[in-house]
Amino acid sequence: MISHPVAPARTYVLVWLGLVTLLLLTLGSAYLPLGWLNGVVNLAIAAAKALLVMIFFMHLRSSHYVLRLAAAAGFFWLAILIGLSLSDFLAR
Amino acid sequence: MADSAIVARQFDDAAQQRTAADLGIWIFLATEILFFGALFAAYTITRIRYPEAFAIASRLTNVALGSVNTGVLLTSSLTMALAVRATKLGARKASIAFMSATVALGLAFLAIKGIEYYLDYTGHLVPALNFSYAGPHANQVQIFFYLYFFMTGVHSLHMIAGICLVGVMIAMASRRAFSPAYYTPVELSGMYWHLVDVVWIFLYPLLYLVARS
């Protein structure tokens, strides 16, 4: 019956602390002269933050696999959208 | 609707009904990902073609206000998650308080964004309105600001929709529309709110943090 087990409030607060830490990391790292790595670090941290939000706040951690698949499908099609567009622009 | 969930006739039980609702919102959110995806694709292509211009243009954005706003939005996701949790537990007053906090943080985000837009305006950075930039790559810098205003503008429209949605949830909760057995509207409004947050999580480094070092 319980498809949404209720997580303790502590979990949500810890996730929020993680998110704020990652925000400070991405802001700080942007001022380090890392060259092209700056962009990679920024995107990796953004992906980590998005995953934290989706896994804990949007409950993918305890979701039916069909829901995880639907969530992944959105990003899969986004990858196709950007990937195939780039295959044109990068190959000109 | 007080104690037991009302199960529509096509579902076996309440759990199946909730999974169907969750699947529906995820499919809707996938279309939202692709809606913003077109803008992210345009951003990717132009950034790869004009890296110097994007580096210059990104340094013209207000990183202090952008960073504060990211914190405001992340915090609003926390209060929304706690509101959904309180609703599931039947803690009506806590749920209303957390949703009110979410609305307040959403409005704060829009207010800060508004201040930022005003500063962009006085800095002559608004394309088609008063854009004037004397440095190198001026046209490509302008392309960045077209993307900046479209992406943050469309995101702000989603914020307004989210604020209205949570406002409706507050009104429904205060009329005792939800119980531990029935909270789907709050849950789904929360999902929408979190996705709008996820979009901003990517907008923030792409618009504000290019070539700060």
Closest chain B C-alpha to A65 CA, distance in angstroms:
10
What does the block give as tokens for B168?
């409706």
pLDDT of residue A4: 55
Q: Which two tokens stand for residue B25?
A: 């919102």
Which residues 154-193 of chain B have a CB within 8 Å of chain A?
187, 190-191
- The one-digit pLDDT tens for each residue of chain B (213 residues) are 444 567 888 999 888 898 999 999 999 999 999 999 999 999 999 999 999 999 999 999 999 999 999 999 999 999 999 999 999 999 999 999 999 999 999 999 999 999 999 999 999 999 988 998 988 999 999 999 999 999 999 999 999 999 999 999 999 999 999 999 899 999 999 999 999 999 999 999 999 999 888
Which residue do the tokens 């926390």 mark? B78
Residues contacting B202, CB < 8 A, separation 6+: A46, A50, B40
Name the residue ranges covered by the structural domains of chain B.
37-208
Separation of alpha carbons A70 and A12, rounded Å: 23
- Between B203 and A1, where is the model more confident? B203
Q: Which of A2, A34, A54 sits opposite B213 (nearest CB)?
A: A34
B44: chain A residues, CB-CB within 8 Å: 82, 85-86
What's the Rg (C-alpha) of chain B?
Answer: 20
What is the reported pLDDT for B97?
98
Whether residue B140 lies within 8 A of chain A, CB to CB, comes out as no
CA pair distance A81, B9, nearest whole angstrom: 39
Task: Give the model's pLDDT for residue A90.
Answer: 86
The mean pLDDT of chain A is 92
- Residue to substitute from B76, B77, B179, interface A, most A β-carbons within 10 A: B77
Q: Report pLDDT for B118.
A: 97
Distances B2 to A71, B6, B176, B181 between C-alpha atoms, Å: 31, 9, 8, 8
pLDDT tens figures, A58-68: 999 988 999 99
Of B142, B58, B70, the C-alpha closest to A30 is: B58
Tens digit of each residue's pLDDT (9 = 90 or more) over A24-60: 999 999 999 998 899 999 999 999 999 999 999 999 9
Q: What is the pLDDT of residue B4?
A: 58
Q: Which residue of B has its CA nearest to A3?
A: B15
> Counting Cβ atoms within 10 Å, is residue B87 exposed (0-12), middle (13-18) or buried (19+)?
buried
A chain contacts of residue B37, beta-carbon cutoff 8 Å: 77-78, 81-82
Please check the confidence at residue A91 and state whether its pLDDT lies above 90: no
Tell me A54's DSSP state.
I
Nearest CA distance, A62 vs chain B (angstrom): 12
Which phi and psi (to 5°) does residue A7 adopt?
Answer: -75, 150
A12 Cβ under 8 Å from any chain B Cβ: yes
Tell which CATH architecture fits domain B37-208.
Up-down Bundle (1.20)
Residue of A nearest to B81 (CA): A57
Instruction: Provide the pLDDT for residue B120.
Output: 95
Among B196, B184, B187, B209, residue whose Cα is nearest residue B76 = B196
Q: CA of B163: how far to CAs of A21, B89, B154, in Å?
A: 26, 23, 14
- Within 15-54 of A, beta carbons closer than 8 Å to B belong to 15-16, 19-20, 23, 26-27, 30-34, 38-39, 42-43, 45-46, 49-50, 53-54
- Which residues of chain B make contact with A36, given a CB cutoff of 8 A? none
- DSSP letter, residue A61: G
